[in-house]
């Protein structure tokens, strides 16, 4: 399965494994049923969420075990929340809740004007203390980067520090990754796979279709 190999410094992709290639093959296949797509997409999203949590900073945490022994472990450095870019980003919320119990999740609705290609903000509901949190930004697909950039602008306007944003997605185009790095080099990106390019319609190729339509329709 071919993949773009050049990544900007702030982008990280999942390690190549047989499981990952198998999951990507299933969700790309146009004959995959909606039920199968949801099941295997959820498995893949869980891997991405866990990889995103791995890049969050930690601080030492000292505990006592059931045997009475002292143990020097770690805890997250600060509070964490998720922000999903509607509607496809909502597909990633369940996996985040499975990994972080009672995590707060905000939502942002950004839609692209088909004539101009510009992304417009229509709705934003975020935790009031989001400026104090590390933010996991959720959206399965990164094509041109327009929607993600608009969502990040909203986060920055609410006081979130760029270096405290981790953008998590399933499939990226190289063009989108490069635009994100040029605009926000201090944030991190975790992606499942990087495809070859965008076509003349700004669709990711070989791609997998419209993630939101296949997951929710």
Residue pLDDT tens, the chain, 217 long: 555 567 999 999 999 999 999 999 999 999 999 999 999 999 999 999 999 999 999 999 999 999 999 999 999 998 999 999 998 999 999 999 999 988 999 999 988 766 666 778 889 999 999 999 999 999 999 999 999 999 999 999 999 999 999 999 999 999 999 999 999 999 999 999 999 999 999 999 999 999 999 999 8
Assess whether 42 carries a catalytic annotation. Answer: no
Assess whether 112 carries a catalytic annotation. Answer: yes
For 5, phi then psi, to 5°, come to -105, -15
Catalytic residue among 112, 144, 158, 196: 112
For the chain, give the number of residues. 217
Report the alpha-carbon distance of residue 182 to residue 58 in Å, rounded.
Answer: 27
Predicted pLDDT at 110? 87
Catalytic residue among 17, 129, 199, 213: 213
Catalytic residue among 31, 64, 67, 116: 116
Catalytic residue among 42, 46, 87, 210: 210
Full-model pTM: 0.92
DSSP reduced 3-state for 189 = strand
The rounded percent of the chain whose pLDDT value lies above 70 is 95
Predicted pLDDT at 6? 77
Predicted pLDDT at 116? 62
Neighbour tally for 23: CB within 10 Å: 23
Report all structural domains of the chain as residue ranges with CATH numbers, in order of start.
11-60+75-216 (3.40.50.2020)
Assess whether 210 carries a catalytic annotation. Answer: yes
Predicted pLDDT at 3? 58
Which tens digits make up the pLDDT trace of 92-126? 999 999 999 889 999 999 887 666 667 788 899 99
> With contact defined as beta carbons under 8 Å apart, do 74 and 90 qualify?
no
Assess whether 213 carries a catalytic annotation. Answer: yes
**What are the angstrom distances between the C-alpha of 127 and each of 25, 124, 160, 162?**
36, 10, 11, 17
């Amino acid at each position: 399965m071919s993949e773009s190999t050049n990544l900007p410094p702030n982008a990280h992709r999942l390690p190549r494994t047989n499981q990952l290639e198998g999951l990507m093959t299933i969700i790309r296949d146009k004959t995959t049923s909606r039920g199968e797509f949801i099941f295997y997409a959820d498995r893949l999203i869980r891997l991405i969420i866990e990889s995103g949590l791995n890049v969050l900073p930690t601080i030492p945490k000292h505990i006592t075990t059931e045997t009475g022994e002292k143990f020097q472990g770690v805890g997250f450095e600060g509070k964490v929340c998720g922000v999903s870019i509607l509607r496809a980003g909502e597909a990633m919320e369940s996996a985040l809740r499975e990994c972080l119990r009672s995590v707060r999740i905000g939502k942002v609705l950004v839609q692209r004007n088909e004539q101009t290609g510009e992304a417009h903000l229509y709705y934003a509901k975020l935790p009031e203390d989001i400026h104090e949190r590390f933010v996991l930004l959720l959206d399965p697909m990164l094509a041109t980067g327009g929607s993600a950039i608009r969502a990040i602008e909203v986060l920055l306007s609410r006081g979130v520090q760029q270096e405290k944003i981790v953008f998590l997605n399933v499939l990226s185009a190289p063009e989108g990754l490069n635009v994100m790095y040029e605009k926000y080099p201090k944030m991190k990106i975790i992606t499942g796979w990087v495809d070859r390019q965008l076509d003349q319609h700004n669709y990711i190729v070989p791609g997998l279709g419209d993630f939101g339509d296949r997951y929710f329709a």
